[in-house]
Amino acid sequence: MRRDLKFYIDGVCRGSWHDGAIGAGAACSPHRTPWEIKTKYLDTSRHPATSKRAKILSAIIALEWALKEIENSDSPSDISVVIYSDFRFMINWLQNPQLDSERQDRDLLDIARRLDLGIRKYCDLYYVEIAKASNKVANKACKEALDEQENN
């Protein structure tokens, strides 16, 4: 029996490229009610926080989550992974990594690519571009994570 693992992802940055900028990524799965949500903060120790880095981080969260689910499954080949994002650059890059020659985000892009390839060893993986208006749960999760980070 085929099972789809669906993830809606987004990343948000506050103060992009400025000292003290913060960012977070979120992956949200509609498999349960309420939606299951995982968030992470951007590590700014080596690179400044940017919206692009936060959005790439969101893909990493979803890909790690999916890979763990697949590896714990008795029949991983019966799973397909679908990741919904409003970030066209990341979708295009993951489908064709030669498109990007930028070095500033290469660290995160390489992690995402390795996870992408790890999932494809087991099952199908699809990226679907959606409108920002269709990505409210993931966007809200990021903003709440940033609110929490600012208040701590």
Predicted TM-score (pTM) of this structure: 0.93
pLDDT at position 9 is 98
Predicted pLDDT of residue 98: 64
Q: Which residue stretches of the chain have pLDDT < 50?
A: none
Q: Are strands 79-85 and 3-14 parallel, antiparallel or unpaired?
A: parallel
Phi, psi at residue 11, to the nearest 5°? Answer: -140, 145
Instruction: Output phi, psi for 144, to 5 deg.
Output: -65, -40
Q: What is the CATH number of the domain that holds 47?
A: 3.30.420.10
pLDDT value at residue 111: 94
Segment 119-133, tens digit of pLDDT: 999 999 999 999 999
Domain residues for the domain of 105 are 3-151
How many domains, in total, are found in the chain? 1
